Structure 1
Amino acid sequence: MTSTTSLFSPVEADLRLLSENLKQLVGNRHPILSAAAEHLFGAGGKRLRPAIVLLISRATMLEQDITSRHRRLAEITEMIHTASLVHDDVVDESSVRRGVPTVHSLFGNRIAVLAGDFLFAQSSWYLANLDNLEVVKLLSEVIMDLAAGEIQQGLNRFDASLSIEAYLQKSYYKTASLIANSAKAAGVLSDVSSEMAQNLYYYGRHLGLAFQIVDDILDFTGSTDVLGKPSLSDLSSGNLTAPTLFALKEKPFLEVLIDREFSQEGDLEQALQLINEAKGIERARELATQNACIAVEYLADLPASESRQALVNMADYVLSRLY
């Protein structure tokens, strides 16, 4: 299994600088917000999204060093992602994230919502200061998509008629949009051709979908220690993901359990058994693999470099989380 340490080696120094800058960017305007930010940015996330931005920046700027705008884009990407996690945790009533207490469990819902709002607002301000209208449009769309995905997920709870297409659309909004649009934005800042910029977008889109599908599989197969949150939390809260949706086609009784919201003793365990029997997890794994392979195809026109190879290996890393 590829470790993130070896995967990110071309941008290791860039990521160290990013971690230092993130805490400074939030500043000391309010002690509670600063404490919340310190807690978030020190919670040991993988930094996958800013790493992709930095790797694309380096892969498209082979003759010269990346600019301060590339670095700021990576920081903005992580701020937007972190803000969305704070709000998600409030909505999902999660007490743990990445193995540490969530912001709302430490500071209360009100502060958590405001801390998320503050990070969104601050990322928007830094975004505007990049002075690149196309990049502003790309990342502003992400913030809208994140909200749309969360709303869609809330409206579709325990909806057994949800299609795989609708699930993938929600997964795009919630996860892939940020990776896709920030990948394209990195290319735009490097002045790549419009065709190359679009290829970078599709790389991010398919990699992001693969990442989300793998995350959804891990909700069934991972331990609480690995996930940093309780397993089966998606299923029990009515968030129906790829393994369940595939299984529903073969196991009609699963719909009965979903319709009664797993309210009877043993319902959740029975649902898991039906999903396993129907090979729902296996089919979801195939869907993740398909998207990861498509992502790599969109890197074909990038010149060979250590950073390009890391972007290719990223697809293997995303899938390797399953094993």
Structure 2
Amino acid sequence: MTSVTSLFSPVEADLRLLTENLRNLIGAQHPVLNAAAEHLFSTTGKRIRPAIVFLISRATLPQGDLTPRHRRLAEITEMIHTASLFHDDVVDQSQLRRGMPTVHSLFGNRVAIQAGDFLFAQASWYLADLDNLAVVKLLSEVIKDFAEGEIQQGFNRYDTSLGLEAYLNKTYYKTASLIANSAKAAGVLSGVPPHLIQALYHYGRNLGLAFQIVDDILDFTRSTDDLGKPAGSDLRDGNLTAPVLYALQENPYLEVLIEREFSETGDIEAALELVHSSSGIAQARELATGFAKAAIPCLDDLPTSDARQALVNLTDYVLERLY
């Protein structure tokens, strides 16, 4: 399987500098806010979102180094992502993130929510400082989408009438919007033609959807140790993802279990077994593959470079995580 280190080799130095800069950008006066943000920034995340920004920036600036604004965009992207994790873990009451205790489990819900709000505010400040209205609009849309996605997920818990389209909309809001709009913003900062800016957006959208669908599959196929969180946690929480939605079409009894919110002994174990015995996981895998493959032609107009090839290879890496 392709390693993230080799995949991101064209921007390895950029990612090292980003990690150093993030700690300096937090700028929280209160030590608890600093400690909360530092805790998540210091965990072993793959930094996929800023890596995509760096790769697109280098692919669209093949003759020159990255500008300070490209670097700051990558940093803002990771700050927004990190802020969303604070809020996600509170809403989901997750005790683990990447195998580490979550911020709310260490510092409490109030601190986690305030730390997330603080990071969103800091990201907005640095975003405005880029002095590019188009980029400000793109990343502001992302923050709005996060809230929309959380609201949709909250209202749709245990709702077996949820269709695939609603699931994909929520997945776009919560995951793909940041990747799509930050990819587009990198093209805007590079001054590429409008048709290429749109292509970069669609690359990020397709890749982001594939990435989250794969994550939703892994929630059923990997162990708790591999996931860094309890396996099957989405279903337990009433968050119906692609494997479940497909399984519901084959197993009417699964609907009964979900609608009574797994209130009886053995319900969740029975539900997990029904998902595994159906073709739901296989169909979800096909769905993810379709989106990943659709991302590749979006890069056709980029000049040949190591960065462009890494963006192509990233679509394979997303799917390789399934095996």
After TM superposition, the score normalised by the length of structure 1 is 0.99
* Displacement of 1:66: 1.0
* Match of residue 183 from structure 1: 183
Q: Partners of 2:119 and 2:258 in 1: how far apart?
A: 36
Task: Kindly report which structure 2 residues correspond to 1:262-301, keeping only aligned pairs within 5 A, or say none.
Answer: 262-301=262-301
1:151 aligns with 2:141: no
* Match of residue 111 from structure 1: 111
* Match of residue 60 from structure 2: 60
SS at match of 1:38: helix
* Match of residue 194 from structure 1: 194
Q: Partners of 2:276 and 2:303 in 1: how far apart?
A: 43
* Match of residue 171 from structure 2: 171
* Match of residue 245 from structure 1: 245
SS at match of 1:298: helix
Q: Partners of 1:212 and 1:76 in 2: how far apart?
A: 21
- Report Cα offsets for 1:108-161 as digits up to 9, x if no partner: 111111100000000000000000000000000000000000110000000001
Runs of 5+ consecutive residues of structure 2 not aligned to the other structure: none
* Match of residue 128 from structure 1: 128
Q: Partners of 2:237 and 2:50 in 1: how far apart?
A: 30
Q: Partners of 2:255 and 2:303 in 1: how far apart?
A: 49
1:257 aligns with 2:257: yes
4+ aligned runs moved over 2 Å, structure 1: none
- Report Cα offsets for 1:228-264 as digits up to 9, x if no partner: 1100000011000000001111111110011111111
Q: Partners of 1:151 and 1:169 in 2: how far apart?
A: 12
Q: Partners of 2:265 and 2:30 in 1: how far apart?
A: 46
SS at match of 2:299: coil
Q: Partners of 1:155 and 1:145 in 2: how far apart?
A: 15
Residue type of the alignment partner of 1:90:
V
1:322 aligns with 2:306: no
Q: Partners of 1:88 and 1:277 in 2: how far apart?
A: 30
* Displacement of 1:27: 2.2
Residue type of the alignment partner of 1:135:
V
Residue type of the alignment partner of 1:296:
I
* Displacement of 1:280: 0.2
Q: Partners of 2:13 and 2:29 in 1: how far apart?
A: 28
Identity %: 73
* Match of residue 75 from structure 1: 75
* Displacement of 1:177: 0.1
* Displacement of 1:277: 2.3
Residue type of the alignment partner of 1:230:
P
Runs of 5+ consecutive residues of structure 1 not aligned to the other structure: none
* Displacement of 1:276: 2.1
SS at match of 1:165: helix
* Match of residue 230 from structure 2: 230
* Displacement of 1:28: 4.7
Q: Partners of 1:104 and 1:244 in 2: how far apart?
A: 28
Number of corresponding residues: 323
SS at match of 1:238: coil
1:12 aligns with 2:12: yes
Q: Partners of 2:261 and 2:196 in 1: how far apart?
A: 46
SS at match of 1:187: helix
* Displacement of 1:297: 1.4
Residue type of the alignment partner of 2:52:
I
Residue type of the alignment partner of 1:125:
W
Q: Partners of 1:18 and 1:163 in 2: how far apart?
A: 39
Q: Partners of 2:253 and 2:170 in 1: how far apart?
A: 25
